[in-house]
Amino acid sequence: MCDWTGKNVLFASGFSGIGFQMMHQLMQREKLKMLGIVHRMENVEMIKKLQAENPDVKVVFMQMNLMDKVSIEQTMKKMGQMMGNIDVLVNCEDVLLDKDVETTIGINLTAMIHVTMKAMPYMDKSQMGVGGVVMNMSSVYGLEPAPAFAVYAAAKHGVVGFTRSMGDMHIYQKTGVMFMTVCPGLTNTEMMMNLRDNVTWEHSEHLVEVIESAKRQMPEEAAVQVIKAMEMMKNGSMWIVDMGQLKEAMPQMHWQM
């Protein structure tokens, strides 16, 4: 099980949704050392609210453009140097804009890869780190097809593939860094608004109607389960978080060397 005592936790996340609810809940861990947030826009009021929840935990925000590799590199270097080492990295930036392929792939997948690789020197026990955990936010659409949101599904399948690959035992033995991915089901977040405007193509009306009428979990209850999955400390694992319940997703092997 994960011990949060003295840990530096870094979120690549906005100020809403599951990621922000995770921050709230982690701030209740009295022994946490530092909470870092990197995002394209600062929300001063939300940062103050987080800090007020636990004055003993230092909350730090740095602005970062997820569509700019140089911005990611510079920001992660500053954050890593400030923290000294990064114990936990949570990548939970999430956008659904299928008509904008570059942004959908860029934020959901490419940025996640860049952030992770730039954090690794401050996590890798063979470099400046002491090991740790990387939790990458995918989706149930990273496990199954999403005909209405094919681009989003492609990005989230990429998140699963990257995380499982980085969770290889050889990498863990060298770095001490565990990789895990969580796949939330339908969640009542801002991303669920205006679904009809964000489909891959126009032949999706019925598919969107089904999604809009389906039950959704609340971000707060999903966050509880994501943290629980992280605390399992199971390298290479995939977890489905749906309707406030946690279940491990077991991959099926189709090919092996």
Of 164, 142, 107, 163, which Cα lies nearest the Cα of 241?
Answer: 142
Say how far apart CA 146 and CA 133 lie, in whole Å: 29
Q: CA–CA separation, 93 vs 105, rounded Å?
A: 11
CB 159 within 8 A of CB 137: yes
Active-site residue list? 152
Q: Judge contact between 156 and 150, C-beta under 8 A.
A: no
Label residue 187 left, alpha or beta by phi (over 0 means left) and psi (-120 to 50 means alpha). Answer: beta
